[in-house]
Amino acid sequence: MIPVEFYVALSFVLFLIGGVGFLARRNVIVTLMSIEIMLNAVNLALVAFNRGMTDNHTGQIFAFFLIAAEAAEVAVGLAIVLSLFRLRRSVRTDEADLLRN
């Protein structure tokens, strides 16, 4: 049986990779994928902490609702990316402020 600390360490590494990808990239699609990696890291931590409590499934329920929120975020994010690409033929975050009109 793998200890919970290993899952938490993996979750931390995934969250760190997502955070660096979010801060370092200018591409909107890579930014959205980095946010997804960070949310999946949170899901992993929730399920890992819930693994120790066999009579309570609160962490798994939170992870389930977070997955539903991720799906909504992807739908809205891709709609914004498509709108940006239609206007400017680019998906760089530097040009995303042009959608305010």
- What residue ranges do the domains of the chain occupy? 4-100
DSSP 7-28: HHHHHHHHHHHHHHHHHH--BH
Contacts of residue 31, defined as CB under 8 A and 6 or more positions apart, other chains included, come to 21, 22, 25, 93
70-87 tens-digit pLDDT: 999 889 988 888 888 887
**79/7 Cα distance (integer angstroms):** 33
Residue 100: its pLDDT value, please? 59
Does pLDDT of 90 surpass 80? no
Q: Which two tokens stand for residue 38?
A: 């960070």
CA separation, residue 32 to residues 37, 41, 44, 74 (Å): 9, 14, 18, 8
Q: What CATH number has the domain spanning 4-100?
A: 1.10.287.3510
Residue 34: its pLDDT value, please? 93
